[in-house]
Amino acid sequence: MKLLIVGQDERLGEVYSTFIRDLAHEAILVTTVGAALRELEAHAPDAVILDVDLPGRAGLVFLESEQARWSTVPLIAVSETATETLALQCLKLGALDFLAKPVPFERLRSLLSFLEVHTLQVDGPRRRVPRVAVPVPLTFRYEVEWPAIDLSPFGVRVSRQAWLQPGATVALSFPLPDGKPPLQVKAVLVRADAEGHLFSFVDLSEAEFRRLVDFCKGIASDRMAMFRLGLAYEFGKGVARDRPEALNWYQKSAALGLEQARRRLRALGEEQ
Protein backbone atom coordinates (compact mmCIF):
# COMPACT_ATOMS: atom_id res chain seq x y z
CA MET A 1 0.00 0.00 0.00
CA LYS A 2 0.99 3.62 -0.51
CA LEU A 3 0.54 5.74 2.66
CA LEU A 4 0.56 9.54 2.67
CA ILE A 5 1.71 10.94 6.04
CA VAL A 6 0.84 14.59 6.70
CA GLY A 7 2.53 16.08 9.77
CA GLN A 8 4.52 19.03 11.05
CA ASP A 9 6.99 16.97 13.11
CA GLU A 10 9.39 15.56 10.51
CA ARG A 11 11.27 13.43 13.07
CA LEU A 12 8.07 11.72 14.23
CA GLY A 13 6.98 11.41 10.62
CA GLU A 14 10.23 9.64 9.75
CA VAL A 15 9.74 7.24 12.67
CA TYR A 16 6.31 6.27 11.36
CA SER A 17 7.56 6.19 7.76
CA THR A 18 10.30 3.73 8.75
CA PHE A 19 7.80 1.56 10.60
CA ILE A 20 5.44 1.59 7.60
CA ARG A 21 8.26 0.69 5.20
CA ASP A 22 9.31 -2.16 7.50
CA LEU A 23 5.79 -3.53 6.98
CA ALA A 24 6.51 -3.51 3.20
CA HIS A 25 4.37 -0.44 2.48
CA GLU A 26 5.38 2.76 0.73
CA ALA A 27 5.39 5.97 2.80
CA ILE A 28 5.24 9.54 1.46
CA LEU A 29 5.91 12.25 4.07
CA VAL A 30 4.76 15.88 3.62
CA THR A 31 4.55 18.73 6.14
CA THR A 32 1.95 21.10 4.66
CA VAL A 33 -1.68 20.92 3.60
CA GLY A 34 -0.82 22.23 0.13
CA ALA A 35 1.71 19.45 -0.42
CA ALA A 36 -0.76 16.90 0.94
CA LEU A 37 -3.50 18.00 -1.48
CA ARG A 38 -1.08 17.82 -4.40
CA GLU A 39 -0.01 14.29 -3.42
CA LEU A 40 -3.63 13.25 -2.95
CA GLU A 41 -4.45 14.28 -6.51
CA ALA A 42 -1.21 13.29 -8.21
CA HIS A 43 -0.28 9.94 -6.66
CA ALA A 44 -3.57 8.43 -5.40
CA PRO A 45 -2.41 7.03 -2.03
CA ASP A 46 -4.24 4.08 -0.52
CA ALA A 47 -4.64 5.85 2.83
CA VAL A 48 -3.74 9.14 4.55
CA ILE A 49 -2.46 9.61 8.10
CA LEU A 50 -3.21 13.24 8.96
CA ASP A 51 -1.82 15.19 11.93
CA VAL A 52 -4.65 17.53 12.88
CA ASP A 53 -2.19 19.62 14.93
CA LEU A 54 -0.69 21.35 11.91
CA PRO A 55 -0.20 25.11 12.53
CA GLY A 56 -3.50 26.96 12.63
CA ARG A 57 -5.39 23.64 12.81
CA ALA A 58 -4.61 23.23 9.12
CA GLY A 59 -5.39 19.53 9.52
CA LEU A 60 -9.06 20.45 9.83
CA VAL A 61 -8.70 22.64 6.72
CA PHE A 62 -7.46 19.56 4.88
CA LEU A 63 -10.46 17.51 6.06
CA GLU A 64 -12.81 20.31 4.99
CA SER A 65 -11.22 20.65 1.54
CA GLU A 66 -13.22 19.60 -1.49
CA GLN A 67 -10.47 17.20 -2.59
CA ALA A 68 -10.50 15.33 0.71
CA ARG A 69 -14.28 15.28 1.12
CA TRP A 70 -14.82 13.85 -2.37
CA SER A 71 -11.93 11.39 -2.14
CA THR A 72 -12.53 7.71 -1.43
CA VAL A 73 -9.11 7.42 0.25
CA PRO A 74 -9.37 6.40 3.94
CA LEU A 75 -8.22 9.25 6.22
CA ILE A 76 -6.87 8.58 9.72
CA ALA A 77 -6.70 11.69 11.93
CA VAL A 78 -4.18 11.89 14.79
CA SER A 79 -3.69 14.57 17.43
CA GLU A 80 -2.06 15.26 20.78
CA THR A 81 -5.30 17.04 21.71
CA ALA A 82 -7.28 13.85 22.06
CA THR A 83 -10.56 15.38 23.20
CA GLU A 84 -13.94 13.87 22.39
CA THR A 85 -15.00 17.17 20.78
CA LEU A 86 -12.09 17.12 18.33
CA ALA A 87 -12.57 13.41 17.64
CA LEU A 88 -16.25 13.95 16.78
CA GLN A 89 -15.36 16.93 14.59
CA CYS A 90 -12.84 14.87 12.59
CA LEU A 91 -15.21 11.93 12.24
CA LYS A 92 -18.03 14.18 11.03
CA LEU A 93 -15.66 15.62 8.43
CA GLY A 94 -15.02 12.15 7.05
CA ALA A 95 -12.03 10.79 8.98
CA LEU A 96 -12.08 7.01 9.13
CA ASP A 97 -10.58 6.95 12.62
CA PHE A 98 -9.22 9.36 15.24
CA LEU A 99 -6.17 8.37 17.30
CA ALA A 100 -4.20 10.07 20.07
CA LYS A 101 -0.50 10.77 19.49
CA PRO A 102 1.83 9.07 19.77
CA VAL A 103 -0.05 6.31 17.92
CA PRO A 104 0.97 2.89 19.33
CA PHE A 105 2.76 0.82 16.69
CA GLU A 106 0.52 -2.18 17.36
CA ARG A 107 -2.60 -0.11 16.70
CA LEU A 108 -1.05 1.21 13.49
CA ARG A 109 -0.09 -2.32 12.46
CA SER A 110 -3.66 -3.57 13.06
CA LEU A 111 -5.15 -0.65 11.17
CA LEU A 112 -2.87 -1.09 8.15
CA SER A 113 -3.43 -4.83 8.16
CA PHE A 114 -7.17 -4.34 7.80
CA LEU A 115 -6.85 -1.61 5.15
CA GLU A 116 -4.44 -3.78 3.16
CA VAL A 117 -7.00 -6.58 2.86
CA HIS A 118 -9.56 -4.05 1.64
CA THR A 119 -7.13 -2.45 -0.86
CA LEU A 120 -6.03 -5.76 -2.37
CA GLN A 121 -9.54 -7.19 -2.71
CA VAL A 122 -11.28 -4.22 -4.32
CA ASP A 123 -10.85 -3.49 -8.02
CA GLY A 124 -12.16 -0.24 -9.47
CA PRO A 125 -13.74 2.52 -7.35
CA ARG A 126 -13.89 1.76 -3.64
CA ARG A 127 -15.70 3.27 -0.70
CA ARG A 128 -13.73 5.23 1.88
CA VAL A 129 -14.75 2.98 4.74
CA PRO A 130 -14.16 -0.73 4.06
CA ARG A 131 -17.12 -2.63 5.52
CA VAL A 132 -18.48 -6.16 5.43
CA ALA A 133 -22.15 -6.99 5.13
CA VAL A 134 -23.07 -8.94 8.25
CA PRO A 135 -26.38 -9.18 10.19
CA VAL A 136 -25.07 -8.31 13.66
CA PRO A 137 -27.83 -7.28 16.11
CA LEU A 138 -27.01 -4.06 18.00
CA THR A 139 -28.67 -3.08 21.24
CA PHE A 140 -29.30 0.59 21.98
CA ARG A 141 -29.83 1.56 25.63
CA TYR A 142 -30.05 -2.13 26.52
CA GLU A 143 -33.57 -2.43 25.11
CA VAL A 144 -33.94 -1.35 21.47
CA GLU A 145 -32.42 -3.70 18.87
CA TRP A 146 -31.15 -2.36 15.56
CA PRO A 147 -30.13 -4.75 12.76
CA ALA A 148 -26.70 -3.80 11.35
CA ILE A 149 -26.44 -3.49 7.58
CA ASP A 150 -22.65 -3.62 7.53
CA LEU A 151 -19.75 -3.34 9.94
CA SER A 152 -16.08 -2.33 10.02
CA PRO A 153 -13.50 -1.82 12.79
CA PHE A 154 -14.29 1.90 12.48
CA GLY A 155 -18.08 1.98 12.55
CA VAL A 156 -21.40 0.42 11.66
CA ARG A 157 -24.32 1.20 9.36
CA VAL A 158 -27.88 0.56 10.54
CA SER A 159 -31.30 1.10 9.01
CA ARG A 160 -32.54 4.69 9.21
CA GLN A 161 -33.77 5.83 12.62
CA ALA A 162 -35.99 8.86 11.94
CA TRP A 163 -35.56 10.39 15.39
CA LEU A 164 -31.74 10.62 15.17
CA GLN A 165 -29.83 13.55 13.67
CA PRO A 166 -26.17 13.64 12.52
CA GLY A 167 -23.92 14.40 15.48
CA ALA A 168 -25.95 12.29 17.93
CA THR A 169 -23.80 10.12 20.21
CA VAL A 170 -25.10 6.75 21.38
CA ALA A 171 -23.92 3.74 23.38
CA LEU A 172 -24.18 0.45 21.49
CA SER A 173 -23.77 -3.18 22.50
CA PHE A 174 -23.32 -6.06 20.08
CA PRO A 175 -21.94 -9.61 20.11
CA LEU A 176 -19.27 -11.10 17.86
CA PRO A 177 -19.10 -14.86 17.26
CA ASP A 178 -15.79 -15.26 19.11
CA GLY A 179 -17.06 -16.50 22.47
CA LYS A 180 -16.23 -13.23 24.26
CA PRO A 181 -18.63 -10.81 25.98
CA PRO A 182 -20.53 -8.35 23.74
CA LEU A 183 -18.69 -5.19 22.76
CA GLN A 184 -19.83 -2.02 24.52
CA VAL A 185 -18.94 0.99 22.37
CA LYS A 186 -19.65 4.69 22.01
CA ALA A 187 -20.59 5.81 18.49
CA VAL A 188 -21.44 9.08 16.75
CA LEU A 189 -23.88 9.40 13.85
CA VAL A 190 -21.77 10.94 11.06
CA ARG A 191 -24.02 10.50 8.06
CA ALA A 192 -27.65 9.79 7.17
CA ASP A 193 -28.50 8.86 3.58
CA ALA A 194 -30.64 6.51 1.52
CA GLU A 195 -28.47 3.53 2.57
CA GLY A 196 -29.09 4.09 6.27
CA HIS A 197 -27.40 5.75 9.25
CA LEU A 198 -23.60 5.49 9.49
CA PHE A 199 -22.06 5.56 12.97
CA SER A 200 -18.33 5.94 13.69
CA PHE A 201 -16.93 4.32 16.82
CA VAL A 202 -15.24 6.60 19.35
CA ASP A 203 -12.41 5.73 21.79
CA LEU A 204 -12.09 2.02 21.00
CA SER A 205 -9.46 0.26 23.06
CA GLU A 206 -6.72 -1.70 21.27
CA ALA A 207 -8.38 -4.97 22.34
CA GLU A 208 -11.78 -3.86 20.98
CA PHE A 209 -10.26 -2.68 17.71
CA ARG A 210 -8.31 -5.94 17.35
CA ARG A 211 -11.48 -8.00 17.87
CA LEU A 212 -13.27 -6.06 15.15
CA VAL A 213 -10.30 -6.32 12.76
CA ASP A 214 -10.04 -10.08 13.24
CA PHE A 215 -13.77 -10.54 12.73
CA CYS A 216 -14.01 -8.35 9.61
CA LYS A 217 -10.85 -9.79 8.06
CA GLY A 218 -12.24 -13.28 8.59
CA ILE A 219 -15.48 -12.37 6.83
CA ALA A 220 -13.55 -10.69 3.99
CA SER A 221 -11.33 -13.75 3.55
CA ASP A 222 -14.32 -16.09 3.59
CA ARG A 223 -16.20 -14.16 0.91
CA MET A 224 -13.12 -14.03 -1.35
CA ALA A 225 -12.61 -17.78 -0.94
CA MET A 226 -16.26 -18.33 -1.91
CA PHE A 227 -15.87 -16.03 -4.92
CA ARG A 228 -12.79 -17.94 -6.12
CA LEU A 229 -14.72 -21.22 -5.85
CA GLY A 230 -17.42 -19.66 -8.01
CA LEU A 231 -14.82 -18.71 -10.62
CA ALA A 232 -13.36 -22.21 -10.54
CA TYR A 233 -16.75 -23.80 -11.23
CA GLU A 234 -17.78 -21.19 -13.82
CA PHE A 235 -14.59 -21.39 -15.89
CA GLY A 236 -13.42 -24.94 -15.11
CA LYS A 237 -10.28 -23.98 -13.16
CA GLY A 238 -9.19 -27.31 -11.70
CA VAL A 239 -12.75 -28.64 -11.53
CA ALA A 240 -15.44 -29.55 -14.05
CA ARG A 241 -17.57 -26.61 -15.16
CA ASP A 242 -20.75 -26.46 -13.12
CA ARG A 243 -22.95 -23.38 -13.51
CA PRO A 244 -25.34 -24.15 -10.62
CA GLU A 245 -22.39 -24.68 -8.27
CA ALA A 246 -20.75 -21.46 -9.50
CA LEU A 247 -23.98 -19.56 -8.86
CA ASN A 248 -24.23 -21.07 -5.40
CA TRP A 249 -20.78 -19.77 -4.39
CA TYR A 250 -21.30 -16.37 -6.04
CA GLN A 251 -24.56 -15.93 -4.14
CA LYS A 252 -22.92 -16.85 -0.81
CA SER A 253 -20.09 -14.40 -1.49
CA ALA A 254 -22.50 -11.65 -2.60
CA ALA A 255 -24.53 -12.15 0.59
CA LEU A 256 -21.37 -11.20 2.52
CA GLY A 257 -21.08 -7.99 0.52
CA LEU A 258 -18.48 -8.77 -2.18
CA GLU A 259 -19.15 -6.54 -5.19
CA GLN A 260 -17.18 -8.77 -7.60
CA ALA A 261 -19.61 -11.59 -6.84
CA ARG A 262 -22.60 -9.33 -7.51
CA ARG A 263 -21.08 -8.36 -10.85
CA ARG A 264 -20.65 -12.01 -11.87
CA LEU A 265 -24.27 -12.70 -10.92
CA ARG A 266 -25.40 -9.72 -13.01
CA ALA A 267 -23.28 -10.93 -15.92
CA LEU A 268 -24.92 -14.35 -15.66
CA GLY A 269 -28.39 -12.83 -15.34
CA GLU A 270 -28.86 -14.32 -11.88
CA GLU A 271 -28.72 -11.38 -9.47
CA GLN A 272 -31.46 -11.65 -6.85
122-144 pLDDT tens trace:
444 444 555 666 656 677 665 67
Q: Which of 204, 237, 258 is the last residue of a domain?
A: 204
172 close to 139: Cβ distance less than 8 angstroms: yes
d(CA 63, CA 12): 21
pLDDT at 249: 83
Q: Does 263 map to a domain?
A: yes
Instruction: Verify that 151 and 253 share a domain, yes or no.
Output: no
Phi, psi of 118 (to 5 degrees): -65, -45
pLDDT at 117: 63
The more confidently predicted of residues 130 and 185 is 185
Q: Which domain holds residue 177?
A: 141-204
Query: pTM for the complete prediction?
Result: 0.66
**Rounded to 5°, angle at Cα 143 from 139 and 149:** 30
The more confidently predicted of residues 12 and 131 is 12
Instruction: Verify that 226 and 242 share a domain, yes or no.
Output: yes
pLDDT at 177: 72
Over residues 136-154, the mean pLDDT reads: 73
Over residues 26-52, the mean pLDDT reads: 88
Report the run of H or E that residue 25 belongs to, with start and end.
Answer: none
The more confidently predicted of residues 15 and 148 is 15
132 close to 151: Cβ distance less than 8 angstroms: yes
d(CA 209, CA 89): 20
pLDDT at 140: 67
Report CA torsion sign: 116, 59, 190, 83: positive
The more confidently predicted of residues 161 and 120 is 161
185 close to 201: Cβ distance less than 8 angstroms: yes
Instruction: Verify that 262 and 160 share a domain, yes or no.
Output: no
Total domains present in the chain = 3
Q: Does 134 map to a domain?
A: no
Instruction: Verify that 15 and 66 share a domain, yes or no.
Output: yes
Instruction: Output the CA–CA distances (angstroms, integers) from residue 112 to 6, 15, 107, 160, in the order listed.
Output: 16, 16, 9, 30
Instruction: Output the CA–CA distances (angstroms, integers) from residue 160 to 147, 165, 166, 190, 199, in the order listed.
Output: 10, 10, 11, 13, 11
Over residues 103-108, the mean pLDDT reads: 84
Over residues 75-97, the mean pLDDT reads: 84
81 close to 53: Cβ distance less than 8 angstroms: yes
The more confidently predicted of residues 37 and 163 is 37
> Among 133-142, 219-228, 233-242, 261-270, which is the least confidently predicted range?
133-142
pLDDT at 119: 59
Instruction: Verify that 6 and 76 share a domain, yes or no.
Output: yes
Phi, psi of 156 (to 5 degrees): -145, 145
pLDDT at 124: 43
Instruction: Verify that 148 and 90 share a domain, yes or no.
Output: no
Q: Which of 170, 204, 238 is the last residue of a domain?
A: 204
